Amino acid sequence: MKYLIIALMWSVFGLIHSLLISVRFSSWANRIMGQYFAFYRLTYNLFSLILFVSILSFTRTLDSELVIKFSPPWTIIQSITLLTSCVVMIWAFLSYDYLEFVGIRQIIDLSKKKDSNHPKTIIKKGLLGIVRHPMYLATIIFMWSLDSTRADVLTHIVLTIYILVGIIFEEKKLVKQHGTVYIEYRKVVPALIPFTKK
């Protein structure tokens, strides 16, 4: 029963997370909130973080057997993959406009009476010239490089599925936003696995 609860909690998290960032919902929120929509992204990120930490904390309270345990010499590989994934996460974060990513840029623009809804450009250099979704790739590698209980494994499975499904919907949104520019970008840069496109 406890594992079913974990699966349901993470599934609900994924649904809420996806709904709040969807084009339809965010467009509706924009119409309702007006200029105060500038606070939406930051509020969304804080809410998602609190919800994520709450569910993760709950899984830590469960009495669950350790089923994945790295031992020497595999701990060396584990350390390398964990470190590499953290570096990629930071690199990916800095590759974007991280102030906009967090939701601070929008608030700054509001205070300066600037329009935050300016057209976004696709970043095609650096890490984003190697893989289209480096943050997701790093997250998957990080999760599966950890020593894990049964509850953790279930969490990792649900979150991995959520990421893979989420990429499909995110790609559709990006094609709608950028059109042929993003379609051409997809032809030369792989989504998750580097160097798999000619």
109 pLDDT more than 70: yes
Query: Would you say residue 106 lies in a domain?
Result: yes
117 pLDDT more than 70: no
Using omega within 30 degrees of 0 as the cis cutoff, is the peptide bond preceding 190 cis? no
Query: Would you say residue 45 lies in a domain?
Result: yes
What pLDDT does 45 receive? 95
Task: Report the domain count for the chain.
Answer: 1
140 pLDDT more than 90: yes
Query: Would you say residue 29 lies in a domain?
Result: yes
Query: Would you say residue 179 lies in a domain?
Result: no
Can you give the residue range of the structural domain that contains 63? 2-120+144-163
Query: Would you say residue 181 lies in a domain?
Result: no
Angle (CA) 128-173-48 rounded to 5° is 80
In the chain, which ranges are continuous DSSP H helix? 2-21, 23-33, 40-61, 74-95, 98-102, 104-111, 134-144, 150-178, 180-188
Average pLDDT of the segment spanning 108-134: 82
Q: What is the pLDDT of residues 44-96, one digit of tens each?
A: 999 999 999 999 999 988 878 899 999 999 999 999 999 999 999 999 998 88
What pLDDT does 198 receive? 62
CB 37 within 8 A of CB 107: no
- Per the structure block, which two tokens stand in for 149? 């209980």
Average pLDDT of the segment spanning 161-186: 91
Query: Would you say residue 36 lies in a domain?
Result: yes
Average pLDDT of the segment spanning 131-138: 95
Query: Would you say residue 173 lies in a domain?
Result: no
Query: Would you say residue 137 lies in a domain?
Result: no
